[in-house]
Amino acid sequence: MYNEATHHNEIDLDKIDINAAPPTEEPERQYYFMAKCREWVKDFEQKNDRLPKACVTTFGCQMNARDSEKLEGILRKVGYEITEDERADFVLFNTCTVRDNANQRVYGRLGELKGSKRRNPNMKIALCGCMMQEPSVIEKIRTSYRFVDLIFGTHNLYKFAELLATCLAQTGYGEAGMIIDIWEGTDRIVEDLPVERKYPFKSGINIMFGCNNFCSYCIVPYVRGRERSREPKEILREIEKLVADGVVEVMLLGQNVNSYGKNLEEPITFAQLLQEVEQIEGLKRIRFMTSHPKDLSDELIQVMKESKKICRHLHLPLQAGSTRILEAMNRRYTKEQYLALAEKIRREIPDMAITTDIIVGFPGETPEDVEETIDVIRRVKYDNAFTFIYSKRTGTPAAAMEQVPEDVVKAGFDKVLKTVQDTAREQVARYQGRVFDVLVEEVNENDANLVTGRMSNNTLVHFPGGAELIGQIVDVSLDECHGFYYMGHMINRAT
Ligand code: 5AD
Ligand code: SF4
């Protein structure tokens, strides 16, 4: 874990008078509560002869992973030892609700925590994230998971230190002491809170929050709220500080990065933001996630084409190949428009890997519609595609539409998956025998003599090497393609 906090405009906790009234301004108010929490931690240490341990478990997407780094940053700042072991003194689940199986996983893991809490009655259990924005979930936790101590949502994540202070001050636990703080929305973006990074050499950066698209299957606009962009100068300042701290690759995060900047007082396009990020000296690679096809501009394609730092990977969610289904999904593009866009990208930037998300079993989808999806997969030739079975989300327009029988969905899903695997294998293999730059990320999980890294186009490569290569960009010969990854050997260190 790598603490970014010292590189922000951080407030020194030693200079805070915790006997004074809490400030009303942010982030000062949160630092005040961090100082309060730190007193609690010191007290714990004296009584138990050890530091308290905290564990943050993340479900869901990169947005959630980044949020968890912020939560861990605060926990570390107040003195907790961060662990991955859920038998900790403070356990926080950062939840996802994009599909129902994400919710079921959270309930399952929560059931397991009950036993740990019985063994350690002083343990505190907290829940946050997208799933907590659903009133039915809160109801269920209040009645069936009464051992939970603290619940907050996506809009008040910045208030975590304040909520933690209240939670720690409480001696009792269970329903009577359950703190629940959920907001319906916010315009607020609080800067300069501490962050704890998972990797020293790469980092996610939020450039915007929320989503305005309202695809008819999707719960995200309801749980993450309306689109809000961060100020470009804040984003650039954050990246500059990360680079000074050793980061070489950044991933700009937003539900729909292509509409970045539209709601700022001084509007700027995503392509313009990328051009500014490109200027940051020492930064080697720029990634971003996710692009909505309807908003992907020619300006962006040109900027990507000319850039030396923007990675050759574009995640361009298709969702469905049938224009009729796309319309019912409220995606606002047709099959032909999507294909034309993909063709334009292939023409302008031939080495760009395109990946996608596909949903099978959207209400009303027929086997003929699924064939249209398969047709798009064959034509675009994705390097990878995440294929999901449609999951009915309460409150979304699609939940009220007629659902497809399970066996029909399953048959379509298997067919789509098989097509994705076949085309991806072919597509990924096109670089076999050539040399590419690879950013080394870790020692291989299964073989300590190998390291694992990523090409600019996001393909994984394993090759002989040691931990000293982690964080470096090296030239690797791609010897053998194994479906979604390569085995290779290092040629030399890239500059
Ligand atoms: N059911 C299945 N998949 C969904 N996704 C979003 N909502 C649903 C749903 N209700 C998928 C989309 C999106 C990805 C993050 O999750 O493909 O791009
Ligand atoms: Fe899950 Fe979607 Fe929320 Fe990410 S944005 S945490 S995938 S519901």
pLDDT tens track for 39-90: 999 999 999 999 999 999 999 999 999 999 999 999 999 999 999 999 999 9
By most ligand atoms within 8 Å of CB, the mutation choice from 56, 57, 58, 61 for ligand 2 is: 61
Residues of the chain with pLDDT under 70: 1-8, 171-176, 493-495
* Per-residue tokens: 54: 């905290």
Whole-angstrom CA distances from 200 to 80, 252, 289 are 20, 16, 20
Ligand 1 closest atom vs CA 317: 18
Give the residue whose CA is nearest to atom 2 of ligand 1. 390
Tell me the backbone φ, ψ of residue 22, rounded to 5 degrees.
-65, 140
Looking at the CA of 134, name the nearest ligand. 2
Residue that the structure tokens 């949903």 belong to: 359
**Side-chain-facing half-sphere of 23: CA atoms under 13 Å:** 14
**Helix, strand and coil percent figures for the chain, each rounded to 5:** 40, 20, 40
* Per-residue tokens: 47: 């009584």
> What one-character DSSP code corresponds to residue 93?
E
Instruction: Identify the pLDDT of residue 177.
Output: 79
How far is residue 88's CA from residue 19's CA, in Å, rounded to a whole number?
A: 29
The helix-helix angle for 160-169 and 28-48 (nearest 10°) equals 40
Q: Is the C-beta atom of 390 inside 6 A of ligand 1?
A: yes
How far is residue 305's CA from residue 83's CA, in Å, rounded to a whole number?
A: 42
* Omega before 317 within 30 of 0, i.e. cis: no
pTM: 0.93
Q: Are 439 and 453 in contact (CB under 8 A)?
A: yes
Instruction: Identify the pLDDT of residue 2.
Output: 60
Looking at the CA of 293, name the nearest ligand. 1
For residue 359, report the distance from its CA to the centre of ligand 1, in Å: 6
Instruction: Identify the pLDDT of residue 493.
Output: 62
Q: Which residues pair with 127 in a beta bridge?
A: 93, 151
Give the residue whose CA is nearest to atom 2 of ligand 2. 98
Instruction: Identify the pLDDT of residue 180.
Output: 95
Instruction: Identify the pLDDT of residue 174.
Output: 44
Residue that the structure tokens 């690679």 belong to: 285
How far is residue 47's CA from residue 431's CA, in Å, rounded to a whole number?
A: 60
Instruction: Identify the pLDDT of residue 358.
Output: 98
Q: Is the C-beta atom of 128 inside 6 A of ligand 2?
A: no
Looking at the CA of 213, name the nearest ligand. 1
Q: Is the C-beta atom of 63 inside 6 A of ligand 2?
A: yes
Q: Are 292 and 260 in contact (CB under 8 A)?
A: no
* Per-residue tokens: 258: 């292509």
Q: Is the C-beta atom of 315 inside 6 A of ligand 1?
A: no
